[in-house]
Structure 1
């Protein structure tokens, strides 16, 4: 029996991410894996989108400015370097227990690795702090290589952890992904996709749900982009059982 602790889209809110890891007994006060994580009894899954704050207020907090301006190179530099420091700490955490800390590649992570798209917030701000073409800074090469190693999905005993959905097409962040409404709407429009994929359970992010984590017992999935609601997912998994999922719950912290 293993406990999986799954945390939704970080979007540069690393303080809250560390708060979740400490609350789940997965990280100590120094940002290192706890004994259950090192032993592999606890498995940590970050569902992707480590970078890019969700709104102007969060950009300002991260950069230490009252009003963040995406056309101000200094503001972009402050936002980028703050995220780089946080990514370094997370990289060290994963490297201390690589068998038990899994980070899924989200579309925002992908666009930082290869800035061929310009993504934005719902309020119209552009995420360009890592795009030199718009005055941002390049992600350091060792962090780029680390993020390139992130898997697009994790499957354990019929349970899938992926950033957007159970569809193979939504594992690749290309023109079709951004033109299609499916990655944001599938769980409402076609929740049967999990069963059609032959999964016993699915865990996804990408779409923030009002009210925190959405658990569907009928269709056997969880939407966990709920870090801002201070919730993470706890899933008990026994790969030796015919029905491997032994318990799943949203945990407030």
Structure 2
């Protein structure tokens, strides 16, 4: 039996991410994997979107500025450097327990690796700090190489059909962030419009992010999935997985910290 600790979209709020890992007994005070993680008894899953703060206030916090101006190259450089520093720290954490720390590729992470699209917020804020063609700076090469290894999905159990983690949904099309992905409304709506997708995919349980849910983590018991983009609500998800059981996936709780 293994415990899975799943943490939703980070969006450069690394302090809260580390607080969640410490609360879940997955990281010590120095940011190292704890013995249960080293032993593989605890499995950590980060659901993606490590980069790009969600608003100007968060950009200012990350950059260490009283106010953030996305058109100022110096501000973009400060925001990029601090995110790169934090990514380095997370990279070291994963390298100490690669068998137990799994990071999924979110669409914002993909946009940094392959800057084909300029992502932004509904307020007009553009995420360009890692895009040199828009005044930003390139992601350091070693971080680019590391982030290129992020999973598009994680399947656990018999024939990969027991427990599923992905950034957006159970649909394979939602693991590729192309023109169709950004033109389609279903990545943000599937769990409302078509919640049977998890069952139709032959999965016992699914865990997804990408869409922030008001009120914290959404546990959809009838349709057997969780929407966990709730780091800003200071919640993470605990699951127990027992491959020997006829019902191998047991949701323990959405954990406040």
Shorter-chain TM range is over 0.9
**3-state SS, counterpart of residue 126 of structure 2:** coil
Q: CA deviation at 1:248?
A: 3.1
- The CA deviation string for residues 49-88 of structure 1, in whole angstroms up to 9 with x for no partner, is 0000001100011111122111100000000000000000
Q: 1:242 aligns with which of 221, 224, 246?
A: 246
The answer to whether the aligner puts 1:55 opposite 2:55 as a matched pair is yes
The range that moved more, 13-22 or 59-68, is 59-68
Q: Secondary structure at the match of 2:145?
A: helix
Give the secondary structure class of the aligned counterpart of 1:130.
Answer: coil
**Which residue of structure 1 lines up, in the alignment, with residue 166 of structure 2?**
162
| DSSP-derived class of the 1:81 partner | helix
SS at match of 2:4: strand
Matches within 5 A, 1:1-253: 1-157=1-157, 158-253=162-257
Query: TM-score normalised to the size of structure 1?
Result: 0.99
Partners of 2:61 and 2:22 in 1: how far apart?
A: 22
Distance in 2, Cα, partners of 1:106 & 1:33 = 23
Give the CA deviation at 1:140.
Answer: 0.7
- Would you say how many aligned residue pairs link Structure 1 and Structure 2? 253
Q: Secondary structure at the match of 2:99?
A: coil
Q: Which runs of 4+ in 1 moved over 4 A?
A: none
What is the RMSD computed on CA atoms of the aligned residues? 0.6
Structure 2: any 5+ residue segments left out of the alignment? Answer: none
Q: How far apart are the structure 2 equivalents of 1:246 and 1:144? A: 35
Unaligned runs of at least 5 residues, structure 1: none
CA distance in 1, matches of 2:170, 2:176: 12
User: CA offsets per residue over residues 114-136 of structure 1, 9 Å max, x none?
Assistant: 10000002321000000000110
Distance (Å, rounded) in 1 between the aligned partners of 2:96 and 2:80: 25
Structure 2 Cα separation of the partners of residues 179 and 246 of structure 1:
35
| Conservation of the 8 A alpha-carbon contact between 1:55 and 1:122 | no
Q: CA deviation at 1:246?
A: 2.6
Summarize deviations over 1:7-53 as a string: whole Å, max 9, x none. Answer: 00000000000000000000000000000000000000000000000
